[in-house]
Amino acid sequence: MHGTDSPSSSLPGNDPTGLQSFAVLLRRMNSEFNRIAHEFAQAQGLHLTDVQALVAILDADPDDGPMTPGRLRRQLDLTSGAVTACVDRLEKAGHIRRVRAEGDRRVVHLHYAEAAKSVARDYFQPLARGTDAARARFRDDELRVVARFLDEMNRELALLRSRPSRP
């Protein structure tokens, strides 16, 4: 059954590695990840933005130091007030901890709480199993190419985000 409401494994065009095919595949995967994130947010009594903040805190580049509210604001493109409300909700729900920097008590670092990691791990276990099952269908050399592609996509997305706002 083909239609706008049902997923299909067929891709447009004749080139499975063409730009249009990649765009469709990436949108489908993004849509599924968004659905899962939304379900997790609802299950935890959170907003979708809160889940995005949790991911940003969890995946913060250690070379950039601990996540701060300011960095989170820039990464999620939120106002200061929206970040404060988000961090307040996450802290109240037990998902994060605010920790004052030792060198400068005015600086606040945001850390994912251990108990929350356990909750997320349990919730996302089916996704982890699915990811592992998909990975098992590829050779190591193929996985390295996939990982390289995903790394390059993330680099390109970061470049888009760093550019001035589009009209």
What is the predicted pLDDT for the residue at 1? 40
- Between CA 57 and CA 75 the distance in angstroms is 10
- pTM: predicted TM-score of the whole model, two decimal places: 0.79
Residue range 57-100, pLDDT digits in tens:
999 888 888 899 999 999 999 999 999 999 999 999 999 999 99
pLDDT band at 167 (very low <50, low <70, confident <90, very high): low
What is the predicted pLDDT for the residue at 71? 93
- Per the DSSP assignment, residues forming a β-bridge with 112 are 96
Residue range 96-117, pLDDT digits in tens:
999 998 888 889 999 999 889 8
In the block, residue with structure tokens 């659905």: 35
- Between CA 67 and CA 54 the distance in angstroms is 10
Q: For residue 115, give every residue at least 6 positions away whose Cβ sits within 8 Å of its Cβ, in sequence order, or none.
A: 94
pLDDT band at 156 (very low <50, low <70, confident <90, very high): very high
In the block, residue with structure tokens 């550019």: 163
Please provide the size of the chain in residues: 167
Q: Using CB atoms within 10 Å of the CB of residue 86, give its burial: 0 to 12 exposed, 13 to 18 middle, 19+ buried.
A: buried
